[in-house]
Every structure is written in C-alpha cells, then in structure tokens.
A and B are shown apart, each in its own frame.
Chain A
Amino acid sequence: MSAPATAKQSRGLGVRCEELVHIYRTGDVDVVAVRGVDLVVRAGERVALLGPSGSGKSTLLGMLGGLIPPSAGRLWIGDEETGGLSERALLGLRAQRIGFVLQGAARNLLQYGTPIDNVRFAHRSVRRSARRDLMEPRELLDVVGLGPVADRPVPSLAGGEQQRVALAVAVANGPGLLLADEPTSQLDTAGRDAVLDLLDLVNERFGTTVIVVTHDADVGARLGRTVSMRYGRVGNEGDRGQQYTVVGKDGSVHLPDDVVAEWPPGTHVLVERTEDGVHMRRRPT
C-alpha cells in the first residue's frame, strides 16, 4: 500500500456483513430488498457489486454507508459494529471515515458552487482543528486531475467531470472506505475510464477501500473482485477471472447466468455427490 497523502489519512477500512436484511415498508406491501447478505471486504480492497436493476445493490450500499438501517443482521465497518451506533455517531462515521457517492453525479454536488466550493462544503463536517490535516481543496483537485476545472461552475462541467468531482468530494475528508453507486452508468467509455482511473488512484494513493455498485461487467472486471447480487442475495463471486457461487444460509446457491439461461426457473436438477465435490445435472425428461 502506498504512503498516505496526508498525515492523518486513515488506512483502508474493512467491511464485514452477516445476514444483512433490509425490508422496505411501503404501505401494506413489504419489499425485501436485501435478504441475508454475508460479505467480507478486506481493507484496501476494490470490489464491484454487480447485478441487474432491483437486485438490492443500492440498498446494500446504503446500509454499508449508514444511510439505511439494516432490518436484521450485523455489519462491521473496520472494527466497529454499526448496529449499536446512534444517528449522531453514524454522521461522524460519514464525516471522516466513509465517503459516499450517490447515483447521478449532479445529486452529489451543490449546483451553484464550483468544485472547490463543493470540496470545502464537504470539509464542513470535519472539526475546524482537524481540517488542517486535510488536503487543500485545490491540491486534492490537482491530484485527481481536476485542477483545470476547479473554479468552474458545476453545471458547466461535462458528465464525466462532474462524476469525478463527486468522487473527489467524497474522498475530500480522507475516508477509509469509498462507496459509489453507479459512478459510470451515464458516461461514455472515455468518461468511464477516467472515473475508473480515479478510483484506482484513490485506492492506490490513499489506501482507501473502494466498493462500487455497477451493472456493467466490464467495470467489475477492471476493479478485480466482483460480487454479484440477485433478488437481494449475493450469488456469484468472481476474483480475477475465477467464478464462484456462494452458498446461502438456507443452502441455496445462485447459478451462473449462462446456466440459468439454459435451465429456466422450475427446472428440476439432480444434485449428486462425487469424489471431488458435488455434481449437478438436469433431470432428464
């Protein structure tokens, strides 16, 4: 891990989830958006949360960021279990230890300010005395390659630039964990690559743990470790080309997408123990 850029830059924070559940209550209908997620992310790791729309990625990310209280399960950020934390403590966590990037770059930024203004705005959540230890807004923007646009009004920036400013603002207080929801979704390839480069930079230079929600498999591949979600569960995991499927608490496993394409829901499979493991095949009709 490379040397921290600022003195008090926190080291990367690890994340551990056990049986995380979130249920949205809307009127009479309960939507179980996340249903029992177990996940461990080591400090300084880069992880992509992959999955189709509605699979619960954003909800999981929100829980990791302390924005959405888990309905059940346990969650550790670094060494701290968040379940027992007050709203105030969660604010403190977000102030300095977690950087959060909402989906849609514009929503992360004060539209009437410049990138500099937005970084300063983020600094407000840090006590004045501690602010000295933070990187100067201009320096930070220089580091992330946004120096030339630092004083331009946000609305005048291109989509990719806005997304990078949003990321810069999220890491302005030197967090150990950066959570970003679909940071590349509305960008062209060049914009996407610039954002991914920035994420790499942040991860390498500051040692920040990076968790990114995306539905783009390429982005996942670029980040290294991918965690796929479906129906609120973690299904497959990939690590540098290798694909794994994860056994759920109830014994369920998610099949890879190409297998699901062949075996539509309702297909009966035969599970047979073999010497080196377990073998599955379709029940002959």
Chain B
Amino acid sequence: MTSLRLALKGLRWRAGSSLAVLLVAVAAVGGAALGPMYAHSAEESLVRDGLAQAPTVTTSVQYRGGVAGQTQFTPIEIRDAVEQQAADPALDPWYLTGTLAMSVVNGSPATADGALGSAQVSWYRGQCEAVIILAGQCPRGPGEAMLSARTADQAGVGLGEQVRLGITADPAQDQATVVGLYDAASADPAVWGLGTPQQFRTAAIEGQPDRLDEVLVDEATMSGISGDVSVSSLRQLDAQSVGLSGVDAMRAAVETATAIPNPDDISGARTVATSGLPAFLDSLQPQVDSMRAATVAVTLQLVLLAWFVLFLLVSATSEERAGEIALAKLRGMTPRSTVSFGLAEPVLLLLVAVPIGLALAWLADVFLARAYLGAGTDVAVTPVALIAAIATCLGGALAAALAARGILTAPVLEQLRRTSGRRARLLRSSAVDAMAVALAVAGIYQLRRGSTDGLALLAPGLIALAAGLLAARALPRLARIAVSRTRTSSSVASFIAVRNIARRPSGLRIVVLLTLAIGIAVFAIDGWFVASANRDQLARAQVGSATVLTVSTDSPGALLAAVDEVDPDGNAALAAVTVSNGDGGLIAVDASRLAAVSSWDPTWAGNTPTGIGSTLHPPSPSPSIAVQGGLTADVTLDRRSGDARVLFAVAVRDARGVPHEIEAGELADGSQRVTADLPMCEDQPCTLTALTFRQPIEIPSTAVEADIGISAASDSLGPVDLAPVGAAGWRPGASSIQVPVDAGAAVASATAGTLGLQVSLDGPADAAVQVADHPDRLPVVQGSELAARPDTSTVVSGLDGRFVGIDVRGEGVLPRLLSQGTLTDLPYALAAMESAPGPFTAMVWLGASAPPDTVADLERAGLVVLGQETIASRSAELDRSSEALSLRLFVLAALLALALAAGTLLASAYVVTRRRGYELAALRALGASTRTLVGTGRTEQSLLAGTGVALGTAAGLWSASLAIPALLGASAAGGPPPWFGPAWVPVGVVVAGALALLLLVADAGSRRIARKAVPELLRQVQE
C-alpha cells in the first residue's frame, strides 16, 4: 500500500513523462483491443448486410406440398401438413410467421365467349387485406373469384359475370362469379411471398394463350376441388434479428427444418422444406475469413509498433530513474524488491491504460459502427479484444522489464554518476534484424505469388521494419564517414549532429520507429485511396448511371416509348432491358443516349461515351416504314417457272414492339389488289418489318420462280412509300440468321413506290424480304469473359429468346453485366425480334442531372417503379465489403501509428532533455553559441526524421505496389480494369504533413534542450 502511494507520488513528480507513457500505453491497448472489436462488428455487419441484401428466395425457408403424387390426401390435409410444418417454433427467433397459399398453377379461365388465357388460380392467407380492391369485394365463399383490373380490362369481363376457372373437371366446382377487381401491383409481398400476382405476359409463341394475372378465389374454393392443388408456405428472414452470435444457431435450426424427411415415413402428407440460407452463409465465409485475417494482420502490426514505442519510452524514463533505482540497491534491497520498485511505475501506468484503452476502443468501435457499418451492428468488448488488450499490457511490461534490465544490473555508483553509456542491445542484436528481414522477404515472396490478403496487410509492417532496422545499421557507418568530412567543415552544428548520430543508439531507434510508422501509414493511405477509387469505378459499372430504376412494363417497346415520352431530348433518361441467357445475359440500352445519361467509362471497353453510342447504334440503311390499320397494295405475280400456289403475308411490329405476321392471301397470276388486315395497328401505327411468300403446307411442294411487283401501297392514312431509299432499304430474309437455301427472295428494283421482287420457292421454307431499318447483324460489345469463349461471335439469344446474328464491335467491361454477357442497342434489338419478348427486366437509367420529377413523370407514363439503385448507394454497399472494412481498420491503425510515433518523438525529446542537456552545457562552457546548440539538435533530429520519413515512404509505396494488386486482385476480378495507384496526392499530403510535424517537433525539442543547457548543469554532475 505504501509502495503504491510512493509510486503514485513518483508518477506525479514525473507528470510529463508519466503522461506520455500513459498516452502511448492507452493508444497501444486501445489499438490492440479495437482490432478484434472492430472485426467482430464488421463481421456481424457483413453477415447482416449480406442477409439483408440477399433476395428473399435465398434466405427464406420455403415449404411445399402438393396433391400431385399424393393423391390419397385432400387439399385440406396437405394444407394442414404444410401449415403445421411451417409453424416450426425453432425458427421463430429469426423468421417471421409463414405465409400460406393454395394454388392451381395452370388454370385456364374462360367466359362463355371463350378462353381468356392461362392463369394461376390461388388463395392466399390474408389476401383480402394485402391487395387494393378497385371494384366489388374480396371472394368470401366458394364460387367467387377476383380478377386483376388488367385481366378484366383485356378480356372485357365485368363484375357479376360468370367464369370457368379451368382448375378442375367438375363444372360445379369450376364455376365462379367475378365479385371483385384488384390492383395486381399492390400485392403485399408479406402475403404473396416470392410470387406476385402480376403474371401477365404475351405468349411467346404465336397462337398460344397469353398468361394472365393471378385469379384469386376463396379458401373454400381451393379446398373443395379435386384438382392438382399445390400448397406453399414461406417464412421470411427478419434480417434485423440476426446477430453474429446467433448465426450458428440460426443455421442449425434452418438445416434441421429443411432436412429431408425419412422417405419410409408415409404416415402423413409429405411436405418439402428448402432454404438457400446455409449455402448463402457458406458463400459469405470467404469474406468473413479475409476480414479476420486482415484484422489479425493489422492488429499485430499495431501491437508490435506499440510495444516498440513502449520500449522506447519506458527505457527513456527508466534511464531518467536510474538514480532512484540505484538508491534501492544502495539500501540493500533484494533484486526482487528493486525490480518491483523499478517497474511499479510503468506497470501501474499500463494497468491504468487497460480500462481506459478498452473504453476508448469501445467508443471508437461505436463510432465506426455508426458511421460505416450496417445499422444496429453489435458493439461489444469481445474476449479476443480483452486478450489483445492484456497481451499488449503484458508486452508493455516486458518492454519495461527489458528497458529496466540494464539499470537493475548496473553498478550502483556508476548509475549515480548519470553517465549512461548503455547500448541499445535489442537493436544491435543481429538475430532480431535477421529475423525481421527474413520475414519481410518471405512476405514479399508470398505477395509476388499473389497470395492471401491477410499477409498482404502484414507485409507493409514487415517491409518497413526491415528497412528501418537495416537503416539503423547503415546509418552510423554513413555518419562515421560523414564525420571525417564535416570535421573540416566550418559548421560545428553539423559536425556534432553527425557525430551524435554515429554513436547514439536512441536516435537510431527513432529512425526505426519512424520508418515503421510512416511505412504503415503510406501503405494504408495509398491502399485506401486506390481501393476506394476502384470501388467507385466498380459501383459505376455495376449500376450503369447515377440512378437506375427497375420498372414494370408490358414490353421493351412500351418502355422505350414511355422513356421517350418523358425525355424526348434524351438528356436525362435511358431505357434499358436485361434478358438472361446462357451466355451471361443480354443488356439492351438505348445506345444513342449512353453518352448523356450513363456513367460509361472509356476504360471499360475502349470506347468513349459518344463512341459507344455510334458503335452500338450506327445509322440504319433505311428509315422505318409505318403502317396503320391495314396495308393494301397492287401486287403482280409473273411466273418464270413452276405452277405452285404462292401465299403472301405481311409482318409488322406493333407499338409495344411485338411482331405479328398477317396472311394477306394467295396471289393469283397477274395483277391484283391485296389487303392485309392489321388489327394490332388500328390505334397506334405499326412498323412494317417484312414481306413473306410461302407455299401452302398441305400441298406437295414444287418449285416456283416468279417476279413479283408491289405498287400503290396504302394504309388507313393514305399512301405508304415502300421504297424510301430504293433497293438498299430492303434485304433478303426475314431475319439476319435465316439463311435461304432453296427458297429466296430479293428486291431486284425499287423505284418510287414500286418494289420489284425476284422470288424463288422450293418446299416449305419461306422466302422473305425485310425492311432494312436496322443493321443486318446486331452491333454488340461483348463482356471480355464471354468474348474469350469460343463460338460466341456470331449469334446471341435476343430479346425474344431467339438467336439473332451479331456483329461484335468490341469487348471489355459492360455496365451491370461486367465481364459477362452482351451489350447491344435496344431499338435495334427490338427491331430484330421475330416473336414476342420473353421474360425481361426493364430499367430506366437516369443521369446525374435528371430533373427530380422524372420518376413521377415515368409513373405517369405508365411505368411502375419497383426499385431504385444509385451509384452512391452501391458505393456505400461496397464500402461495407470485407476488403474496404479491413482497409479502413488499417487506415485507422496507421493514423494511430503516426500519432504514436509523433507522440513518442515529442515525449522522448522531453525525457532526454536532461541527459542531452549535459552535453550541450559542456559545449556551451566551451563557448558555443545558442544558435550552434539549437542548430546541433535541429540538424540531428531533422536528419533522423528525414531518413525515417524517406525510408518509410519508400517502404510503404513499395509494399503497396506489391500488396495492392494481390489485395484488389480478387475483388477486382470480372470488374472494370483495376487501378493500382499510387495515389500520389493523398500519400504526398500525409508524408508532407508528417515531415512538417516532425521538423516542428525537432525544432521545439532542440530549442528546449538548448535553453536548459546552462553550465550550472555541469556542476551537478561533477564529483
């Protein structure tokens, strides 16, 4: 107790250096603890972010049961089985209550007038509250049905009308009255689960029924039928409820819930439960692992640096206390008492530093979590953080012991004479140097091989340390050479400064410390800025433009039209459509607007923003030919050979971009007036795409060759010019890949209003000529990975799911698809369609300068906005990737390292004041001026600081050039070409700032020492 009080008095007596040691110890403990704490938070954030961003289909647990294959059970029994299994209480901590749905997938609703199409007929638990009912009411009993307003509109069915649902053969169960109309877009996903009632789609194949929006019925209707009813339930993950500590339990619960039931157990209705959650968690693991590895690497470096700093400071203060420790020996204390007396003060500081450091680490983690991690991320003092803090504290005590060792063993009287000639044994130890260099070399070797990122983050510390240690060995030698030079020079200051460097180890330690700290800082700053520039670039490529809206629309053509209506000038918005295919997908954009709207970067595919527009959308050979409400023309058939019958058809594309082909009838020899009725072109004009000739199928085919003339074409609005640009406006074939073999058609002449065709038919194949209002082959840019694959250079699966010929005009990174897939022009891709579009995702890209009311305008134009993504939001998401999180920690550690180094420098300038003061006092006694004295200190300190900063900068930049490619390699794969830096500006700012600060400290320190170096000081040492 008394010894504690005495130690406290001692600490107060040396308030300045005590505070310095305490601050360094707090920074060390805090830094060491922050690493694991931040890792914990970042890991949790990664998992929570991942789960929150993952699609419902991945994270949910889905239950399915069906009558098919289990015909011994009624729909009710199956529903009960699904409901019971889905009510699994083990999932309750993380999963919401399940949905419940009973459906017949392939119903075929029909009115007395005929079939309406194919539709899913369903009941959802809670459906009446989950959709907006526009007219009538929700089905309340058997025999009642509710249609979407769109279906009712398309089919012309009103409230109160009778429909057959087409879900069972029994007419009594199949009959329903339409009691309500609902808005399919309003369906609440909490009730609908993965599906949506918006299922309308034009049939992909001509003549097949269209797919209608979902038809809703009452539960009793579904329960009562004997048809093929499937029952499903979905439990959605509540991502907010997941904490890192609960992930394993959640995973176990999901795995149990989705375990395949015993196939021998046939006692009840079978229900299958599935979830993508375990696989998804597995896919997160590499990120979590790399985050952990990085944290260990960063923390290790920080702790090592902190130990080093503690060693420096504690040895400086120990030397200051040499006299006191000598007193303990003079009094005959046992070595143990002397050690405990000698270490009491630093150990006390270290102990105090643990709670303060932990508290500060906790605060910093709270701040980091708030600022950079997902909302609600847990912040906790983890056991690992506690261990790290204690290890740092113990390491500090060890450093103190090392520092005090020499003092404890030195002869009493020598110590009292205060001439500390002790050498820095630790630094002199070649073994330590050799080990550091060996580790650094191993690190460099691993990095060159492109090894793991954990090591990549350890390398800068190792390389800088090795550089610092080597410099510490080389410097005295160089200084010795310089001594002989400066001996003859007139500057006393530089002579003494160089001589001091040559023989004083404490300065060399400063060089090692500075090299290490600056090396780490330069690497971290460079790495951070380079990585964040790359993340921004990736975000721009992944999103496509400042803001991207995902919208719902009938067809790509309608999308194009709506965007055109809202932004006729093409400065703010751009229509884009993606289609998935086996080749990485197809993205079709309104290419002429790319330059104005998108975030296209020339490095992506070697095209300027304007260049890419003209690459994808070159001028077409011919303008489009519009037709409204039926096409009439005078057609002359003039046979050259053969007498087979010839049928004539007209192909058009309607306003929504959907192609149609209308038979115009059989052509008789000679001249005739032919009319093709085009009902789809009544309201809005269509675009003429092709003229087709074929033989009737039932007739055994024979060859025909004929000249066909078409003139005086007209539609409901008046004459139609079929040859606006002459023969070049037409080309053979209905599409770019249809290769005429036996059959063929070609435009032989095209003069004002008259087409002269040469047609040859042999067999069932069509002969056609098409309007050349789009390039024969679709100009595309391919993703570099797709381009690298063989056999991908001639065709691509287009908007209609059919192959279309392509003209590959470049390769590289594509917006949204990155290195996969194909980029093409939307208007041309529409023109190249031969049938109705398949499933697609519609987007509207908005430029950074799009007016704020654009979204509202788009909705007014008929688009339903489903979602929105911005480059900024994507960037923010990427900022929460493991690589960004690790680098952020590294930057933090680097700033701490810089602060530690600066603090140590300042503190040691104060602590060594007294010792150095004697020397300067002696110089002054010999007649040196104050200016010389200040100059000596300043020159020495500046030389040391300059060496440390220069070496550290070189080491940092070099390790960055090695490690950053390895670090970014993995995350940059498949993205825009990565930029490896160096980020000169931020690095320059940090280095210049550090240098300026160090020079300031050097100046202030040497002034202070010179001021204190009065000759009276010498009298105290004498005798």
Contacts and interface: CB of A to CB of B under 8 A. Distances in A.
B332 A110 contact: no
B334 A125 contact: yes
B10 A110 contact: yes
A91 B332 contact: yes
Contacts of B2: 117, 120
A110 B333 CA distance: 15
Interface in B724-762: none
B329 interface: yes
B413 interface: yes
Given A117-B9, A125-B331, A102 B416 contact: yes
Contacts of B411: 67
Contacts of A109: 327
Contact of B333 (A62, A91, A102, A107): A91
B263 to A, nearest CB: 78
Contact of A93 (B12, B323, B332, B413): B332
Interface in B306-338: 323-324, 327-335, 337
B411 to A, nearest CB: 8
B674 interface: no
B10 A94 contact: no
Interface string A86-104: 0010111111101010111
Given A110-B10, A117-B6, A67 B412 contact: yes
Contact of A113 (B9, B333, B416): B9
B1023 A94 contact: no
B330 A94 contact: yes
A98 B12 CA distance: 32
Given A117-B6, A124-B3, A95 B332 contact: yes
B332 A92 contact: yes
Interface in A101-156: 102-104, 107-113, 117, 120-122, 124-125
B322 to A, nearest CB: 11
Nearest to A114: B9
Given A121-B331, A125-B331, A103 B6 contact: no
Interface string B186-216: 0000000000000000000000000000000
A184 to B, nearest CB: 14
Contacts of A104: 1023
A192 to B, nearest CB: 18
Q: Is the interface of B mostly helix, strand, loop or mixed?
A: helix
Contacts of B3: 124
A217 interface: no
A95 B413 contact: no
Interface in B265-304: none
- Measured as residues with beta carbon below 8 angstroms from the partner, the interface class of chain A is 20 to 34
Contacts of A173: 331
Given A110-B324, A117-B6, A91 B13 contact: no
Contacts of B6: 110, 112-113, 117, 120-121
A3 interface: no
A39 interface: no
Contact of A68 (B12, B413, B1023): B413
B333 A124 contact: yes
Interface string B331-352: 1111101000100000000000
Contacts of A100: 330
A167 B378 CA distance: 62
Contacts of A93: 332
Given A102-B330, A110-B324, A62 B9 contact: no
A102 B331 CA distance: 11
B337 A124 contact: yes
Contacts of A122: 331
Contacts of B412: 67
Interface in A202-248: none
A96 B13 contact: no
Interface residues of B, number: 27
Nearest to A92: B332
A103 B13 contact: no
B327 A110 contact: yes
Interface in B1-22: 2-3, 5-6, 9-10, 12-14
Nearest to B333: A125
Contacts of B330: 67, 94, 100, 102, 108
A104 B3 CA distance: 25
A209 to B, nearest CB: 17
A241 B801 CA distance: 129
Given A67-B413, A111-B13, A124-B3, A94 B327 contact: no
Residue from A92, A111, A117, A124 having most chain B Cβ neighbours under 10 A: A124
A96 B332 contact: yes
A98 B323 CA distance: 20
A112 B332 contact: no
Given A67-B330, A100-B330, A102-B330, A112 B12 contact: yes
Interface in A31-71: 62, 67-68
Contacts of B332: 90-96, 98, 125
A124 B324 CA distance: 14
Nearest to B341: A124
A85 to B, nearest CB: 12
Contacts of A112: 6, 9-10, 12-14
Nearest to A175: B332
A67 B12 CA distance: 31
A36 B857 CA distance: 112
Nearest to A95: B332
Contacts of A68: 413
A173 B12 CA distance: 28
B323 A107 contact: yes
Contact of B329 (A91, A98, A103): A91
Interface string B87-130: 00000000000000000000000000000000000000000000
A113 B332 CA distance: 19
Q: Which of A93, A95, A108, A110 has the most CB of B within 10 A?
A: A110
A96 B329 CA distance: 13
A136 to B, nearest CB: 13
A238 to B, nearest CB: 25
A94 B328 CA distance: 11
Contacts of A94: 330-332
Interface string B7-51: 001101110000000000000000000000000000000000000
Nearest to A126: B332
Contacts of A92: 332
A98 B846 CA distance: 92
A88 B329 CA distance: 10
A214 to B, nearest CB: 13
Contacts of A125: 328, 331-334, 337
Contacts of B323: 107
A125 B12 CA distance: 24
Nearest to A127: B334
A108 B327 contact: yes
A95 B333 contact: yes
A133 to B, nearest CB: 16
A110 B344 CA distance: 15
Contacts of B335: 88, 91
Contacts of B324: 110
For the complex of A and B, the 3 pairs showing the least CB-CB separation, nearest first, are A95-B332, A94-B332, A112-B13
25 contacts: A67-B412, A67-B413, A91-B329, A91-B332, A94-B331, A95-B332, A102-B330, A110-B10, A110-B327, A112-B6, A112-B9, A112-B14, A117-B2, A117-B5, A117-B6, A120-B2, A120-B6, A121-B6, A121-B327, A122-B331, A124-B3, A124-B331, A124-B341, A125-B333, A125-B334
Interface of B: 2-3, 5-6, 9-10, 12-14, 323-324, 327-335, 337, 341, 411-413, 416, 1023
Given A88-B334, A125-B328, 19 more contacts: A67-B413, A91-B329, A94-B330, A94-B332, A100-B330, A104-B1023, A108-B327, A110-B6, A112-B6, A112-B9, A112-B12, A113-B9, A117-B9, A120-B2, A121-B6, A122-B331, A125-B332, A125-B334, A173-B331
